[in-house]
Amino acid sequence: MTPEELEELLGDPYDDGSPYGFAAAVCRDERDAFPEELAAALRGAGFHLNYLPREWGGRFESFDRSMLLARTAARRDLNVMPGTMFGITAATCLALHGSPEQQRYAADLLGRGGAVGFALSEAEHGSDLLANTARLEPAGGGWTLSGEKWLVGLGHRCEAVYVVARTGERGPGAFSAVLLDLTERDVERGPAVPVGGMRGIDFAHLRFDRFPVPAHALVGAEGRALESVMKAQQVVRVMSMAGSLGCADTALRLTLDFASGRRVGRRTVLDSPHPRRELALASAALLAADATALASARGIHVAPEVFSVWGCAAKHVVAESAEELIRRCGTVLATRAVLRTEGPGGGLFQKLQRDAAVVRVVDTSTLANLRSYAGQLPALVRPAHAGDPVPAVRTVFDLSAPLPPYAPERLDLGSRGRDPVTAALGAVAPEVLARLASGGDTSTADLVARLVSAVGELPARAAAADRHTGLADLAERFAWLHAAACCLHLWWANPARPLFGTEPGSSAWLGACLAHLLARADQVDPRREAAAQSPALDVTAGLHGGGLLFSALPVLLARHH
C-alpha cells in the first residue's frame, strides 16, 4: 500500500457524509467513540500490517515508509493509530526477546487485527519506573502477579497483554516481563479513563490480584525486561512522530483555507502582515519537523546504535514544533479556534489541539525524554571519535539511497559513538556553503555558519553544564541543533530532487528552517527571525494548492471537490 492508495481508499476527508472524513472524526470525538468504521477499513486493507515484520506475516519494509503511511492516515483522525497500531510496543519487545512460540502467538493475534496491550507504568510512580511495585511472585512452578498498571492503551479491547513487573529488589535488573493471554483468564479492567485528546481510545487501569501466570509466559530472561522496553520505546518514538505531523498537517491546512478565504478590508487574512508572519513561522516549524522525522525514520536503519539519543532528540523537536504550529494557527483563527461548531472543520481544530497534546506525552513526558539522553551528552559531543560519519549521513539523507534492513538487535540503551548528524556537519558544510555562494544566497550561508559554530560549541557547553539542570537544558539545545543539521544534510544530499515541491536546489526552505531552529536553540522568540522564515509560507501554500502532503516526499492527497 502506498500513501496515495490509502488516500484513494479513504476518499475526500472534507466529505461530511464519509465515515472516514473530518466531520465523522469530530462526531466521534464528541461522543467519546472508538473509530470502528475507519479502523475496520484500514485493517481490511492491511494497514495494520505495515509495522509487523515480514517473518511475522507483516508488510514492513522501512520506517520511513511506515511513518508516512501512519501520518497520512492520522491527518484524518489521530485515533486511527491507537486503533490499529497500539501493539507496536509489545510487538517490538517480543521481537527483541520473546520465544518463537510467543512471537508466533503475537503475530497471529496482531495479524488478524487484534490488540496486545502494553502494561508498564503505574499511577504512583509515572516515569520513575524503578519505583514500580507490581510484583511477580514464584508459585507452583510459575508465578502470581499482583499490582495495578496505569493507562493501558486499548485496555478493554486487548486479548493479550505484555506486563512488566518486579521480580527483584532494586535496580533495572529487578524487573521481568510476562505475556498473558486474556482469552483464557480475564483480568480486572477498571473503567475507561477519560483523556483530553484521543477520545474514545479505551485507556484502562489493569488490576491483578494473585493472578496466576504460567512459567512459559515469562518473556526472555528474568530481570531483563527494562532493557527490552527501553529499546522498544525508541521505535515507538519514531511512529509517534507520525501522529504529531498528522495533527499539524491538518491544522495548517484548515488555517490556510480560512486565511485565504476570509477578507479583512481589501485583503485576505493570508495577505495581512501579522497573520502572514504567524503562518510563515508555523510553516517553517512544520517543514523542519518533517525533515527531522524523516531523518530519524531512515536513521534507525543506518545507525541504530546511536538511536537512544537520535530518536529522543527528534521526538522532542517534532512534538514541540507541532504544538507551536497549532498555537500559531490558533492565533490566526482567533475566535474560530475555540468554537465547537462554527470554527474550521466544525470543531476539528479543537480536536487537533487536544490530540496533539496527548501524542506529545503518550510514550514519555517532555522532561523525561530530555533527561533520558542528557547524561550522554558530554561523551556524545566530544570531538575525538574514530570513523568518518559522512557515508552514513549520505545514506540517511539521500532519499534515493536504499536503506539497510532494520536490525533491532543493534539498538542499545546508550549511544555507542557520536551523533553522525552533528558530527558530519563540519565535513559537509563547506560544500553547502560553496553551493549557496554559487546561487547568491548569502543569508542562508550566514545561517549555516551560525549552525556550524553552535555545534562546535557543544563540547565546551557540556563540560561546563550543571549535571542537574544544565544538562537537561543542553539536551534541548542539542535537539534543535540536531534538527537544523538534518535540514542541512537533506538539502545537501538531494541537489536534483524537488524537495517540498520546490525547484531542485532551491534553498529558500532551508534558510527558513535554519532560522527557525536556531532561534529555538537559542531560546529566543522565532519572530526575531521572521524575515528569513517568510519563504516557508510560500512553500506550504504551494503544496496545499497542489493537493500534496506537507512533506519533502511528494504524497498526492484525495482532492476536496
3-state secondary structure 49-68: HHHCCHHHCCCCCCHHHHHH
Domain with CATH 1.20.140.10 in the chain: 229-374+388-545
Cβ-based neighbour number of residue 76 at 10 Å: 24
Beta-carbon contacts of 32 under 8 Å, excluding residues fewer than 6 positions away, are 194, 199, 200
DSSP three-state, residue 181:
strand
C-alpha cell read off for 289: 519537523
**Which amino acid is located at 202 in the chain?**
D
Options 2.40.110.10, 2.60.40.10, 3.10.50.40, 3.90.25.10; CATH of 116-224: 2.40.110.10
| Closest of 98, 82, 99 to residue 90, by C-alpha | 98
Domain with CATH 2.40.110.10 in the chain: 116-224
For residues 48 and 50, what is the distance between their CA atoms, to the nearest angstrom? 6
For residues 137 and 143, what is the distance between their CA atoms, to the nearest angstrom? 5
C-alpha cell read off for 54: 515480514
CATH of domain 229-374+388-545: 1.20.140.10
For residues 480 and 493, what is the distance between their CA atoms, to the nearest angstrom? 20
Whether the CB-CB separation of 260 and 275 falls below 8 Å is answered with no
Per-residue pLDDT of the chain (561 residues; tens, 9 = 90+): 899 999 999 999 999 999 999 999 999 999 999 999 999 999 999 999 999 999 999 999 999 999 999 999 999 999 998 888 888 999 999 999 999 999 999 999 999 999 999 999 999 988 888 999 999 999 989 999 999 999 998 999 999 999 999 999 989 999 999 999 999 888 999 888 888 999 988 899 999 999 999 999 999 999 999 999 999 999 999 999 999 999 999 999 999 999 999 988 889 999 999 999 999 999 999 999 999 999 999 999 999 999 999 999 999 999 999 999 999 999 999 999 998 888 788 999 999 999 999 999 887 888 888 988 998 888 888 765 667 999 999 999 999 999 999 999 899 988 877 899 999 999 999 999 999 999 999 999 999 999 999 999 999 999 888 877 789 999 999 999 999 999 999 999 999 999 999 999 999 999 999 999 999 999 999 999 999 999 999 999 999 999 999 999 999 999 865
pTM of the full predicted structure? Answer: 0.95
For residues 429 and 167, what is the distance between their CA atoms, to the nearest angstrom? 51
